[in-house]
Chains A and B, each alone.
Chain A
Amino acid sequence: MTTTAHTLTKSQSRLMGLHSERLGGRTQQRFFSAEETENFVYPWSTPVDFDKHADLDAAGLKPHEVNIKLRELMKQGFGSITLRNPGARPGLAVGILNRLNLTIDGSLGYFGCGLVDGPNIRIKGRVGWSCAENMMSGTIVIEKNAGSTFGAAIRGGDLVCRGDVGARTGIDMKGGTIIVGGRTGAFSGFMMQRGRMIVLGDAGKNLGDSMYDGTIYVGGKIASLGVDAVPAELTDHERRWLTRKLDLYGLKAPNGVANLQKIAAGKQLWNYDNLEPAEKKLVL
Protein backbone atom coordinates (compact mmCIF):
# COMPACT_ATOMS: atom_id res chain seq x y z
CA MET A 1 0.00 0.00 0.00
CA THR A 2 1.36 3.38 -0.88
CA THR A 3 1.29 6.22 1.57
CA THR A 4 -1.32 8.63 0.38
CA ALA A 5 -2.80 11.79 1.74
CA HIS A 6 -5.73 9.81 3.09
CA THR A 7 -3.58 7.76 5.43
CA LEU A 8 -2.39 10.84 7.34
CA THR A 9 -4.27 10.81 10.60
CA LYS A 10 -5.18 13.70 12.83
CA SER A 11 -2.81 12.56 15.56
CA GLN A 12 -0.01 12.36 13.04
CA SER A 13 -0.79 15.84 11.88
CA ARG A 14 -0.53 17.05 15.47
CA LEU A 15 2.91 15.53 15.73
CA MET A 16 3.78 17.53 12.65
CA GLY A 17 2.88 20.70 14.47
CA LEU A 18 -0.46 21.19 12.83
CA HIS A 19 -3.57 21.82 14.94
CA SER A 20 -1.37 23.62 17.44
CA GLU A 21 -2.96 27.02 17.31
CA ARG A 22 -5.91 27.62 19.61
CA LEU A 23 -7.92 30.63 18.73
CA GLY A 24 -9.24 32.48 21.71
CA GLY A 25 -12.68 32.79 20.27
CA ARG A 26 -14.85 35.83 20.50
CA THR A 27 -17.28 36.29 23.30
CA GLN A 28 -20.74 37.62 23.57
CA GLN A 29 -19.59 40.35 25.92
CA ARG A 30 -17.40 41.86 23.25
CA PHE A 31 -19.72 41.66 20.32
CA PHE A 32 -23.27 41.43 21.60
CA SER A 33 -25.00 43.24 24.35
CA ALA A 34 -28.69 43.16 25.08
CA GLU A 35 -28.32 46.71 26.35
CA GLU A 36 -27.07 47.96 22.98
CA THR A 37 -30.32 46.96 21.37
CA GLU A 38 -32.17 49.33 23.65
CA ASN A 39 -31.02 52.10 21.35
CA PHE A 40 -31.76 50.26 18.16
CA VAL A 41 -34.93 51.55 16.52
CA TYR A 42 -36.40 50.32 13.30
CA PRO A 43 -37.64 53.04 10.98
CA TRP A 44 -41.04 51.34 10.83
CA SER A 45 -41.42 50.78 14.59
CA THR A 46 -44.07 52.85 16.29
CA PRO A 47 -44.16 54.51 19.68
CA VAL A 48 -46.48 52.73 22.07
CA ASP A 49 -47.94 53.53 25.45
CA PHE A 50 -47.51 50.73 27.98
CA ASP A 51 -50.50 52.05 29.93
CA LYS A 52 -52.75 51.59 26.93
CA HIS A 53 -54.11 48.03 27.00
CA ALA A 54 -55.95 45.95 24.40
CA ASP A 55 -57.38 42.43 24.28
CA LEU A 56 -57.11 40.44 21.09
CA ASP A 57 -59.14 37.23 20.68
CA ALA A 58 -57.39 34.87 18.27
CA ALA A 59 -60.29 32.41 18.09
CA GLY A 60 -61.34 31.94 14.52
CA LEU A 61 -58.47 33.98 13.11
CA LYS A 62 -55.71 32.57 10.95
CA PRO A 63 -52.16 33.04 12.28
CA HIS A 64 -51.29 35.77 9.78
CA GLU A 65 -54.51 37.60 10.63
CA VAL A 66 -53.55 37.55 14.31
CA ASN A 67 -50.11 38.96 13.49
CA ILE A 68 -51.61 41.71 11.32
CA LYS A 69 -54.03 42.68 14.09
CA LEU A 70 -51.16 42.85 16.58
CA ARG A 71 -49.40 45.29 14.26
CA GLU A 72 -52.52 47.36 13.84
CA LEU A 73 -52.90 47.62 17.62
CA MET A 74 -49.28 48.70 17.99
CA LYS A 75 -49.80 51.34 15.31
CA GLN A 76 -52.71 52.62 17.37
CA GLY A 77 -50.30 53.03 20.27
CA PHE A 78 -51.31 50.03 22.38
CA GLY A 79 -48.24 49.04 24.39
CA SER A 80 -49.84 46.26 26.44
CA ILE A 81 -51.75 43.56 24.61
CA THR A 82 -53.29 40.31 25.85
CA LEU A 83 -53.71 37.66 23.18
CA ARG A 84 -56.45 35.20 24.06
CA ASN A 85 -57.30 31.77 22.62
CA PRO A 86 -54.07 31.20 20.69
CA GLY A 87 -55.06 27.53 20.41
CA ALA A 88 -51.48 26.22 20.02
CA ARG A 89 -51.47 27.43 16.43
CA PRO A 90 -48.12 27.97 14.68
CA GLY A 91 -46.47 31.25 13.76
CA LEU A 92 -48.18 33.55 16.24
CA ALA A 93 -46.58 36.76 17.56
CA VAL A 94 -43.73 36.66 15.09
CA GLY A 95 -41.65 39.52 13.72
CA ILE A 96 -42.52 42.04 16.44
CA LEU A 97 -39.88 44.74 16.10
CA ASN A 98 -41.29 47.06 18.73
CA ARG A 99 -41.26 47.57 22.45
CA LEU A 100 -44.45 45.87 23.60
CA ASN A 101 -45.76 44.07 26.66
CA LEU A 102 -47.54 41.07 25.23
CA THR A 103 -49.28 38.44 27.34
CA ILE A 104 -50.35 35.28 25.58
CA ASP A 105 -53.14 33.61 27.49
CA GLY A 106 -52.59 30.04 26.31
CA SER A 107 -50.23 27.89 24.26
CA LEU A 108 -48.40 28.46 20.98
CA GLY A 109 -47.50 26.02 18.21
CA TYR A 110 -44.45 26.00 15.97
CA PHE A 111 -42.28 29.10 15.48
CA GLY A 112 -44.09 31.19 18.06
CA CYS A 113 -42.49 34.57 18.79
CA GLY A 114 -39.84 34.07 16.11
CA LEU A 115 -37.79 36.96 14.73
CA VAL A 116 -38.75 39.36 17.50
CA ASP A 117 -36.69 42.36 18.48
CA GLY A 118 -37.71 44.26 21.54
CA PRO A 119 -40.98 43.00 23.05
CA ASN A 120 -41.49 41.55 26.52
CA ILE A 121 -43.67 38.49 26.07
CA ARG A 122 -45.20 36.23 28.67
CA ILE A 123 -46.77 32.97 27.55
CA LYS A 124 -49.03 31.33 30.12
CA GLY A 125 -49.11 27.96 28.38
CA ARG A 126 -46.70 25.81 26.41
CA VAL A 127 -44.81 26.53 23.19
CA GLY A 128 -44.07 24.19 20.27
CA TRP A 129 -40.88 23.72 18.29
CA SER A 130 -38.56 26.61 17.44
CA CYS A 131 -39.97 29.17 19.83
CA ALA A 132 -38.20 32.54 19.61
CA GLU A 133 -36.02 31.48 16.70
CA ASN A 134 -33.69 34.34 15.74
CA MET A 135 -34.84 36.52 18.63
CA MET A 136 -32.76 39.69 18.76
CA SER A 137 -33.71 41.36 22.03
CA GLY A 138 -36.42 41.64 24.66
CA THR A 139 -37.67 38.96 27.02
CA ILE A 140 -39.85 35.92 26.52
CA VAL A 141 -41.06 33.92 29.52
CA ILE A 142 -42.93 30.64 29.08
CA GLU A 143 -44.75 29.39 32.14
CA LYS A 144 -45.06 25.72 31.10
CA ASN A 145 -43.03 23.46 28.75
CA ALA A 146 -41.42 24.03 25.37
CA GLY A 147 -40.67 21.84 22.35
CA SER A 148 -37.39 21.24 20.56
CA THR A 149 -35.02 23.79 19.00
CA PHE A 150 -36.04 26.24 21.68
CA GLY A 151 -34.29 29.55 21.03
CA ALA A 152 -32.57 28.40 17.87
CA ALA A 153 -30.04 30.98 16.65
CA ILE A 154 -31.09 33.69 19.09
CA ARG A 155 -28.80 36.71 19.15
CA GLY A 156 -29.94 38.58 22.21
CA GLY A 157 -32.47 39.03 24.96
CA ASP A 158 -33.63 36.60 27.63
CA LEU A 159 -35.60 33.49 26.71
CA VAL A 160 -36.98 31.69 29.75
CA CYS A 161 -38.96 28.45 30.03
CA ARG A 162 -40.00 27.55 33.54
CA GLY A 163 -40.75 23.92 32.62
CA ASP A 164 -39.00 21.26 30.52
CA VAL A 165 -37.81 21.76 26.95
CA GLY A 166 -37.13 19.34 24.09
CA ALA A 167 -33.96 18.58 22.14
CA ARG A 168 -31.42 20.96 20.56
CA THR A 169 -32.19 23.89 22.81
CA GLY A 170 -30.18 26.91 21.73
CA ILE A 171 -28.88 25.26 18.61
CA ASP A 172 -26.63 27.74 16.82
CA MET A 173 -27.33 30.46 19.40
CA LYS A 174 -25.29 33.56 18.78
CA GLY A 175 -26.00 35.60 21.88
CA GLY A 176 -28.48 36.33 24.60
CA THR A 177 -29.49 34.07 27.45
CA ILE A 178 -31.64 30.96 27.51
CA ILE A 179 -32.90 29.78 30.89
CA VAL A 180 -34.61 26.42 31.35
CA GLY A 181 -36.25 25.79 34.70
CA GLY A 182 -36.52 22.03 34.16
CA ARG A 183 -34.83 19.51 31.91
CA THR A 184 -33.44 19.98 28.42
CA GLY A 185 -33.15 17.27 25.76
CA ALA A 186 -30.29 15.89 23.66
CA PHE A 187 -27.90 18.07 21.70
CA SER A 188 -28.68 21.23 23.62
CA GLY A 189 -26.22 23.96 22.75
CA PHE A 190 -25.36 22.18 19.51
CA MET A 191 -23.05 24.44 17.46
CA MET A 192 -23.56 27.21 20.00
CA GLN A 193 -21.57 30.25 18.98
CA ARG A 194 -22.08 32.78 21.72
CA GLY A 195 -24.38 33.58 24.60
CA ARG A 196 -25.26 31.73 27.77
CA MET A 197 -27.59 28.89 28.56
CA ILE A 198 -28.69 28.03 32.08
CA VAL A 199 -30.39 24.68 32.63
CA LEU A 200 -31.56 24.15 36.18
CA GLY A 201 -32.57 20.51 35.67
CA ASP A 202 -30.92 17.64 33.81
CA ALA A 203 -29.40 17.86 30.34
CA GLY A 204 -29.73 15.13 27.69
CA LYS A 205 -27.01 13.48 25.65
CA ASN A 206 -24.31 15.35 23.74
CA LEU A 207 -24.65 18.64 25.55
CA GLY A 208 -22.80 21.43 23.78
CA ASP A 209 -21.81 19.26 20.85
CA SER A 210 -19.49 21.16 18.49
CA MET A 211 -19.98 24.40 20.36
CA TYR A 212 -17.72 27.16 19.11
CA ASP A 213 -18.05 29.46 22.09
CA GLY A 214 -20.55 30.56 24.70
CA THR A 215 -21.22 28.99 28.09
CA ILE A 216 -23.69 26.44 29.42
CA TYR A 217 -24.54 26.09 33.10
CA VAL A 218 -26.34 22.97 34.33
CA GLY A 219 -27.90 22.36 37.73
CA GLY A 220 -28.84 18.69 37.30
CA LYS A 221 -27.23 15.65 35.73
CA ILE A 222 -25.61 15.77 32.30
CA ALA A 223 -26.24 12.58 30.30
CA SER A 224 -23.09 13.17 28.28
CA LEU A 225 -21.04 15.98 26.81
CA GLY A 226 -20.84 16.43 23.07
CA VAL A 227 -17.72 16.69 20.96
CA ASP A 228 -15.44 19.49 22.13
CA ALA A 229 -17.64 20.50 25.08
CA VAL A 230 -15.58 20.54 28.27
CA PRO A 231 -16.15 21.30 31.96
CA ALA A 232 -14.85 24.67 33.08
CA GLU A 233 -14.49 26.53 36.34
CA LEU A 234 -17.14 28.93 37.55
CA THR A 235 -15.81 32.37 38.42
CA ASP A 236 -17.05 34.76 41.09
CA HIS A 237 -18.14 37.12 38.36
CA GLU A 238 -20.29 34.39 36.85
CA ARG A 239 -21.81 33.45 40.20
CA ARG A 240 -22.91 37.03 40.70
CA TRP A 241 -24.27 37.23 37.18
CA LEU A 242 -26.13 33.92 37.52
CA THR A 243 -27.66 34.91 40.84
CA ARG A 244 -28.84 38.21 39.44
CA LYS A 245 -30.20 36.66 36.26
CA LEU A 246 -32.12 33.89 38.02
CA ASP A 247 -33.49 36.34 40.59
CA LEU A 248 -34.95 38.38 37.75
CA TYR A 249 -37.25 35.48 36.91
CA GLY A 250 -37.77 34.11 40.40
CA LEU A 251 -35.80 30.94 39.67
CA LYS A 252 -33.40 29.04 41.92
CA ALA A 253 -30.59 26.65 41.10
CA PRO A 254 -31.44 23.29 42.74
CA ASN A 255 -28.22 23.14 44.78
CA GLY A 256 -27.31 26.79 44.69
CA VAL A 257 -25.62 28.82 42.01
CA ALA A 258 -22.17 27.83 43.27
CA ASN A 259 -22.88 24.20 42.35
CA LEU A 260 -23.90 24.79 38.77
CA GLN A 261 -21.71 22.89 36.35
CA LYS A 262 -20.11 25.10 33.74
CA ILE A 263 -19.53 23.79 30.23
CA ALA A 264 -17.48 25.63 27.63
CA ALA A 265 -15.95 24.98 24.22
CA GLY A 266 -12.69 23.05 24.21
CA LYS A 267 -11.83 24.70 20.90
CA GLN A 268 -10.07 21.66 19.57
CA LEU A 269 -12.29 21.22 16.54
CA TRP A 270 -10.90 21.50 13.05
CA ASN A 271 -12.43 24.92 12.52
CA TYR A 272 -10.10 26.31 15.17
CA ASP A 273 -6.92 25.20 13.45
CA ASN A 274 -4.78 27.27 11.14
CA LEU A 275 -4.81 24.98 8.18
CA GLU A 276 -5.50 26.00 4.63
CA PRO A 277 -8.47 24.23 3.01
CA ALA A 278 -6.19 21.95 1.01
CA GLU A 279 -4.34 20.97 4.18
CA LYS A 280 -7.59 20.21 5.96
CA LYS A 281 -8.47 17.71 3.26
CA LEU A 282 -5.26 15.92 4.05
CA VAL A 283 -6.04 15.36 7.68
CA LEU A 284 -9.79 14.82 7.69
Chain B
Amino acid sequence: MCGIAGLIHRGTSGEVGDEMTAMLEALKHRGPDSTGFALYGDGRPGELLMRLKLAEQEETRKGFDIHKKLPERKTEVDRRIIELGGTILEATAATEYAYRYRLKYSGDNRKLADYIEDIEGVEILSLGSGLELIKDLGMAPQVAGQYHLTGFRGTHAIGHTRMATESDVDIRSAHPFWAYPFADVSVVHNGQLTNYWMGRRALERRGHRFMSNCDSELIAVFLADRVERGATLEAAMRDSIDELDGVFTYLVATSDSLGMAKDVMAAKPMVLYESDDLVALASEEVAIRSIFPNEIDTFDPYEGEVRVWKA
Protein backbone atom coordinates (compact mmCIF):
# COMPACT_ATOMS: atom_id res chain seq x y z
CA MET B 1 0.00 0.00 0.00
CA CYS B 2 2.96 2.39 0.60
CA GLY B 3 3.09 5.54 2.69
CA ILE B 4 3.99 8.98 1.45
CA ALA B 5 4.73 12.16 3.32
CA GLY B 6 5.75 15.72 2.58
CA LEU B 7 6.35 18.95 4.41
CA ILE B 8 7.34 22.47 3.49
CA HIS B 9 8.42 25.29 5.79
CA ARG B 10 7.14 28.61 4.55
CA GLY B 11 9.71 31.37 4.48
CA THR B 12 12.19 29.58 6.68
CA SER B 13 14.04 26.29 7.01
CA GLY B 14 13.78 23.55 9.58
CA GLU B 15 15.13 20.19 10.65
CA VAL B 16 13.61 18.40 7.65
CA GLY B 17 15.85 15.34 8.04
CA ASP B 18 14.56 14.57 11.52
CA GLU B 19 11.01 15.63 10.69
CA MET B 20 10.76 13.38 7.65
CA THR B 21 12.36 10.48 9.52
CA ALA B 22 9.69 10.78 12.23
CA MET B 23 6.90 11.00 9.66
CA LEU B 24 8.11 7.94 7.76
CA GLU B 25 8.65 5.98 10.96
CA ALA B 26 4.99 6.61 11.78
CA LEU B 27 4.05 5.17 8.38
CA LYS B 28 6.19 2.05 8.65
CA HIS B 29 3.13 -0.21 8.78
CA ARG B 30 2.28 0.92 5.25
CA GLY B 31 5.47 -0.50 3.77
CA PRO B 32 8.60 -2.02 5.28
CA ASP B 33 10.51 -2.79 2.07
CA SER B 34 12.40 0.43 1.53
CA THR B 35 12.48 4.02 2.68
CA GLY B 36 13.34 7.09 0.68
CA PHE B 37 13.88 10.77 1.33
CA ALA B 38 14.08 13.77 -0.99
CA LEU B 39 15.45 16.56 1.19
CA TYR B 40 15.84 20.12 -0.03
CA GLY B 41 18.72 21.84 1.69
CA ASP B 42 19.91 25.37 1.21
CA GLY B 43 22.59 24.38 -1.28
CA ARG B 44 25.52 26.58 -2.26
CA PRO B 45 25.47 28.98 -5.21
CA GLY B 46 27.25 27.62 -8.25
CA GLU B 47 27.50 24.11 -6.87
CA LEU B 48 25.76 20.94 -7.95
CA LEU B 49 24.83 18.15 -5.57
CA MET B 50 24.70 14.64 -6.90
CA ARG B 51 23.64 11.47 -5.11
CA LEU B 52 24.40 8.21 -6.85
CA LYS B 53 24.68 4.52 -6.21
CA LEU B 54 27.36 2.27 -7.64
CA ALA B 55 25.41 -0.95 -7.10
CA GLU B 56 22.33 -2.39 -5.48
CA GLN B 57 22.58 -3.23 -1.77
CA GLU B 58 21.70 -6.83 -2.64
CA GLU B 59 24.69 -7.08 -4.99
CA THR B 60 27.10 -6.07 -2.26
CA ARG B 61 25.76 -8.83 -0.04
CA LYS B 62 25.81 -11.63 -2.56
CA GLY B 63 28.09 -10.63 -5.44
CA PHE B 64 31.44 -12.39 -5.69
CA ASP B 65 33.66 -9.64 -7.06
CA ILE B 66 31.43 -6.60 -6.48
CA HIS B 67 33.65 -5.26 -3.69
CA LYS B 68 36.50 -5.07 -6.18
CA LYS B 69 34.31 -3.43 -8.81
CA LEU B 70 32.93 -0.66 -6.58
CA PRO B 71 36.19 1.33 -6.29
CA GLU B 72 36.70 0.88 -10.02
CA ARG B 73 33.27 2.29 -10.74
CA LYS B 74 33.87 5.19 -8.38
CA THR B 75 37.15 6.00 -10.12
CA GLU B 76 35.39 5.92 -13.48
CA VAL B 77 32.65 8.27 -12.23
CA ASP B 78 35.31 10.73 -11.08
CA ARG B 79 37.15 10.47 -14.37
CA ARG B 80 34.05 11.14 -16.44
CA ILE B 81 33.04 14.16 -14.35
CA ILE B 82 36.46 15.67 -14.93
CA GLU B 83 36.40 14.73 -18.61
CA LEU B 84 33.17 16.73 -19.03
CA GLY B 85 34.76 19.78 -17.43
CA GLY B 86 33.42 19.31 -13.92
CA THR B 87 35.30 19.83 -10.69
CA ILE B 88 34.78 17.48 -7.75
CA LEU B 89 34.71 19.55 -4.58
CA GLU B 90 33.84 16.67 -2.32
CA ALA B 91 32.83 13.02 -2.64
CA THR B 92 31.65 11.29 0.51
CA ALA B 93 30.54 7.71 0.93
CA ALA B 94 27.29 7.20 2.82
CA THR B 95 27.65 3.46 2.29
CA GLU B 96 30.03 1.29 0.32
CA TYR B 97 27.74 1.67 -2.70
CA ALA B 98 26.23 5.17 -2.27
CA TYR B 99 28.02 8.50 -2.70
CA ARG B 100 27.30 12.18 -2.31
CA TYR B 101 29.16 14.54 -4.64
CA ARG B 102 29.58 18.30 -4.49
CA LEU B 103 30.51 19.52 -7.95
CA LYS B 104 31.29 22.57 -9.97
CA TYR B 105 29.76 21.91 -13.35
CA SER B 106 28.22 24.32 -15.81
CA GLY B 107 27.47 21.96 -18.69
CA ASP B 108 24.35 20.09 -19.72
CA ASN B 109 22.86 18.00 -16.88
CA ARG B 110 21.47 15.41 -19.25
CA LYS B 111 24.88 14.87 -20.85
CA LEU B 112 26.50 14.49 -17.42
CA ALA B 113 23.80 12.07 -16.23
CA ASP B 114 23.88 9.98 -19.38
CA TYR B 115 27.65 9.70 -19.37
CA ILE B 116 27.86 8.68 -15.72
CA GLU B 117 24.96 6.24 -15.94
CA ASP B 118 26.68 4.61 -18.89
CA ILE B 119 29.00 3.01 -16.31
CA GLU B 120 27.79 -0.47 -15.40
CA GLY B 121 25.66 -0.52 -12.23
CA VAL B 122 25.76 3.24 -11.67
CA GLU B 123 22.54 5.20 -11.20
CA ILE B 124 22.22 8.87 -10.38
CA LEU B 125 19.57 9.21 -7.70
CA SER B 126 19.44 12.98 -7.82
CA LEU B 127 21.08 15.99 -9.32
CA GLY B 128 20.45 19.58 -8.39
CA SER B 129 21.44 22.55 -6.32
CA GLY B 130 19.38 21.72 -3.22
CA LEU B 131 17.94 18.23 -3.67
CA GLU B 132 19.51 15.28 -1.88
CA LEU B 133 17.74 12.03 -2.67
CA ILE B 134 18.45 9.12 -0.38
CA LYS B 135 16.79 5.74 -0.65
CA ASP B 136 17.67 2.30 0.56
CA LEU B 137 16.22 -0.92 1.90
CA GLY B 138 15.00 -0.82 5.48
CA MET B 139 12.95 1.30 7.82
CA ALA B 140 13.22 5.07 8.21
CA PRO B 141 15.46 5.23 11.31
CA GLN B 142 17.83 2.69 9.79
CA VAL B 143 18.15 4.52 6.46
CA ALA B 144 18.34 7.92 8.17
CA GLY B 145 21.09 6.63 10.42
CA GLN B 146 22.99 5.00 7.60
CA TYR B 147 22.95 8.23 5.55
CA HIS B 148 23.44 10.61 8.51
CA LEU B 149 20.23 12.58 8.02
CA THR B 150 19.99 13.73 11.63
CA GLY B 151 20.29 17.49 11.77
CA PHE B 152 19.76 17.96 8.02
CA ARG B 153 18.29 21.44 7.62
CA GLY B 154 16.21 22.49 4.68
CA THR B 155 13.02 24.10 3.48
CA HIS B 156 11.04 21.06 2.39
CA ALA B 157 11.08 17.32 1.91
CA ILE B 158 9.10 14.37 0.63
CA GLY B 159 9.45 10.75 1.65
CA HIS B 160 8.17 7.25 1.05
CA THR B 161 7.83 3.90 2.78
CA ARG B 162 7.38 1.17 0.24
CA MET B 163 5.27 -1.96 0.08
CA ALA B 164 6.63 -3.44 -3.13
CA THR B 165 3.90 -4.89 -5.32
CA GLU B 166 4.73 -4.82 -9.01
CA SER B 167 8.49 -4.45 -9.07
CA ASP B 168 11.46 -5.64 -7.07
CA VAL B 169 12.56 -4.78 -3.57
CA ASP B 170 15.67 -2.85 -4.54
CA ILE B 171 17.03 0.68 -4.51
CA ARG B 172 16.25 1.38 -8.14
CA SER B 173 12.54 0.69 -7.56
CA ALA B 174 12.41 2.56 -4.27
CA HIS B 175 10.97 6.05 -4.10
CA PRO B 176 11.46 9.00 -4.47
CA PHE B 177 12.22 9.17 -8.16
CA TRP B 178 14.28 11.94 -9.59
CA ALA B 179 12.68 13.49 -12.67
CA TYR B 180 15.73 12.99 -14.88
CA PRO B 181 17.26 15.18 -16.26
CA PHE B 182 15.67 18.09 -14.41
CA ALA B 183 17.55 19.46 -11.47
CA ASP B 184 15.84 19.30 -8.10
CA VAL B 185 12.59 17.55 -9.14
CA SER B 186 11.49 14.44 -7.22
CA VAL B 187 8.32 12.38 -6.87
CA VAL B 188 6.79 9.90 -4.41
CA HIS B 189 3.67 7.91 -5.20
CA ASN B 190 1.10 5.70 -3.54
CA GLY B 191 -1.03 3.61 -5.89
CA GLN B 192 -0.87 1.68 -9.13
CA LEU B 193 -0.72 2.99 -12.69
CA THR B 194 -2.49 0.78 -15.16
CA ASN B 195 -1.20 2.45 -18.35
CA TYR B 196 2.43 2.26 -17.26
CA TRP B 197 3.82 0.38 -20.23
CA MET B 198 1.91 2.39 -22.78
CA GLY B 199 3.05 5.62 -21.15
CA ARG B 200 6.61 4.40 -20.76
CA ARG B 201 6.92 3.40 -24.41
CA ALA B 202 5.63 6.80 -25.53
CA LEU B 203 8.07 8.64 -23.28
CA GLU B 204 11.00 6.43 -24.23
CA ARG B 205 10.32 7.27 -27.86
CA ARG B 206 10.68 10.92 -26.85
CA GLY B 207 14.15 10.19 -25.45
CA HIS B 208 13.44 9.79 -21.75
CA ARG B 209 15.18 7.14 -19.69
CA PHE B 210 13.66 4.72 -17.17
CA MET B 211 15.90 3.08 -14.61
CA SER B 212 13.38 0.69 -13.04
CA ASN B 213 10.26 -1.25 -13.85
CA CYS B 214 8.35 0.55 -11.11
CA ASP B 215 5.15 2.17 -12.37
CA SER B 216 5.71 5.18 -10.13
CA GLU B 217 8.75 6.23 -12.13
CA LEU B 218 6.34 7.06 -14.94
CA ILE B 219 5.00 10.01 -12.94
CA ALA B 220 8.43 11.57 -12.55
CA VAL B 221 9.25 11.09 -16.22
CA PHE B 222 5.79 12.29 -17.31
CA LEU B 223 6.19 15.51 -15.32
CA ALA B 224 9.73 16.00 -16.61
CA ASP B 225 8.49 15.61 -20.18
CA ARG B 226 5.70 18.16 -19.71
CA VAL B 227 7.97 20.67 -18.01
CA GLU B 228 10.54 20.21 -20.78
CA ARG B 229 7.82 21.07 -23.29
CA GLY B 230 7.10 24.33 -21.49
CA ALA B 231 4.33 23.48 -19.04
CA THR B 232 4.39 24.79 -15.50
CA LEU B 233 4.69 22.17 -12.80
CA GLU B 234 1.07 22.70 -11.77
CA ALA B 235 -0.16 22.40 -15.36
CA ALA B 236 1.86 19.22 -15.81
CA MET B 237 0.31 17.81 -12.66
CA ARG B 238 -3.18 18.66 -13.89
CA ASP B 239 -2.41 16.87 -17.16
CA SER B 240 -1.33 13.84 -15.17
CA ILE B 241 -4.79 13.56 -13.61
CA ASP B 242 -6.26 13.00 -17.08
CA GLU B 243 -3.47 11.05 -18.69
CA LEU B 244 -2.25 8.68 -16.01
CA ASP B 245 -4.63 5.81 -15.56
CA GLY B 246 -5.11 3.95 -12.32
CA VAL B 247 -5.26 4.95 -8.70
CA PHE B 248 -2.72 7.36 -7.33
CA THR B 249 -1.89 10.05 -4.89
CA TYR B 250 1.53 11.54 -5.42
CA LEU B 251 3.74 14.31 -4.11
CA VAL B 252 6.22 16.23 -6.20
CA ALA B 253 8.90 18.62 -5.01
CA THR B 254 11.05 21.14 -6.85
CA SER B 255 13.75 23.50 -5.60
CA ASP B 256 11.17 25.83 -4.05
CA SER B 257 7.79 24.05 -4.20
CA LEU B 258 5.81 21.10 -2.94
CA GLY B 259 2.79 19.76 -4.81
CA MET B 260 0.22 17.02 -4.47
CA ALA B 261 -2.17 15.37 -6.91
CA LYS B 262 -4.94 12.88 -6.37
CA ASP B 263 -6.67 10.79 -9.03
CA VAL B 264 -10.35 11.19 -9.85
CA MET B 265 -11.32 8.09 -7.89
CA ALA B 266 -9.64 9.41 -4.73
CA ALA B 267 -8.71 5.83 -4.04
CA LYS B 268 -5.50 6.54 -2.18
CA PRO B 269 -5.32 8.47 1.04
CA MET B 270 -3.84 11.86 1.81
CA VAL B 271 -4.28 14.00 4.89
CA LEU B 272 -3.34 17.64 4.79
CA TYR B 273 -2.40 20.11 7.50
CA GLU B 274 -1.83 23.71 6.52
CA SER B 275 -0.70 26.63 8.66
CA ASP B 276 0.99 29.97 8.00
CA ASP B 277 4.39 28.46 8.82
CA LEU B 278 4.20 24.94 7.51
CA VAL B 279 2.30 22.55 5.26
CA ALA B 280 2.45 18.84 6.04
CA LEU B 281 0.87 15.98 4.11
CA ALA B 282 0.86 12.25 4.67
CA SER B 283 -1.02 9.07 3.88
CA GLU B 284 -2.20 9.04 7.48
CA GLU B 285 -2.58 11.77 10.07
CA VAL B 286 -0.47 9.81 12.53
CA ALA B 287 2.58 10.81 10.46
CA ILE B 288 1.78 14.50 10.73
CA ARG B 289 1.15 14.10 14.43
CA SER B 290 4.64 12.70 14.81
CA ILE B 291 5.92 16.25 14.33
CA PHE B 292 2.97 17.97 16.02
CA PRO B 293 2.35 16.62 19.49
CA ASN B 294 -0.82 18.69 19.91
CA GLU B 295 -4.19 18.30 18.24
CA ILE B 296 -4.36 19.93 14.80
CA ASP B 297 -7.03 20.52 12.17
CA THR B 298 -6.56 18.32 9.13
CA PHE B 299 -8.60 17.34 6.10
CA ASP B 300 -8.54 15.07 3.08
CA PRO B 301 -7.98 16.69 -0.33
CA TYR B 302 -10.68 15.61 -2.79
CA GLU B 303 -10.73 13.62 -6.00
CA GLY B 304 -8.86 15.14 -8.93
CA GLU B 305 -7.31 17.79 -6.71
CA VAL B 306 -3.93 19.39 -7.48
CA ARG B 307 -2.26 21.79 -5.08
CA VAL B 308 1.14 23.45 -5.01
CA TRP B 309 2.79 25.35 -2.17
CA LYS B 310 5.88 27.55 -2.26
CA ALA B 311 8.62 27.47 0.35
**Residue positions of A touching B, CB distance < 8 A:** 87-90, 106-107, 109-110, 124-126, 128-129, 144-145, 147-148, 163-168, 183, 185-187, 204-205
Given A88-B285, A185-B266, A186-B266, also A107-B302 (CB < 8 A): no
The 8 A CB mask of B282-302 against A (1 = contact, 0 = none) is 001110110000010111101
Most buried by B among A106, A126, A165, A168: A126
CB <8 Å contact, A204 and B303: yes
Find A129's partner among B29, B264, B269, B303 (CB 8 Å cutoff): B269
- Listed by A's residue number, 5 A-B pairs whose Cβ atoms lie within 8 Å are A126-B298, A128-B286, A167-B265, A185-B302, A205-B303
CB <8 Å contact, B289 and A88: yes
State in angstroms the CA–CA spacing of A89 and B290 once bound together: 10
B244 CB within 8 Å of chain A: no
| Interface residues of B, count at CB 8 A | 19
Residues of A within 8 A of B298 (CB): 107, 126, 145
B193 CB within 8 Å of chain A: no
Find A90's partner among B271, B284, B295, B299 (CB 8 Å cutoff): B284
Query: From A109, which residue of chain B is reached at the shortest CB distance?
Result: B286
- Minimum distance in angstroms from B269 CB to a CB of chain A: 6
Besides A88-B286, A145-B297, A148-B300, 19 more A-B contacts (Cβ < 8 Å) are: A87-B289, A88-B285, A90-B284, A107-B285, A110-B284, A126-B297, A145-B300, A147-B300, A148-B269, A164-B300, A165-B300, A166-B300, A167-B266, A167-B300, A167-B302, A185-B266, A185-B300, A204-B302, A205-B303
**Residue positions of B touching A, CB distance < 8 A:** 29, 264-267, 269, 271, 284-286, 288-289, 295, 297-300, 302-303
State in angstroms the CA–CA spacing of A205 and B289 once bound together: 31
Residues of A within 8 A of B297 (CB): 126, 144-145
State in angstroms the CA–CA spacing of A126 and B292 once bound together: 15
Given A126-B298, A145-B299, A185-B300, also A205-B285 (CB < 8 A): no
State in angstroms the CA–CA spacing of A214 and B286 once bound together: 34
State in angstroms the CA–CA spacing of A109 and B30 once bound together: 13
- Minimum distance in angstroms from B88 CB to a CB of chain A: 45
State in angstroms the CA–CA spacing of A135 and B29 once bound together: 25
CB <8 Å contact, A109 and B302: no
CB <8 Å contact, A187 and B265: yes
State in angstroms the CA–CA spacing of A185 and B301 once bound together: 9
Residues of B within 8 A of A166 (CB): 266, 269, 300, 302
CB <8 Å contact, A126 and B285: yes
State in angstroms the CA–CA spacing of A90 and B283 once bound together: 12
Residues of A within 8 A of B266 (CB): 148, 166-168, 185-187, 204
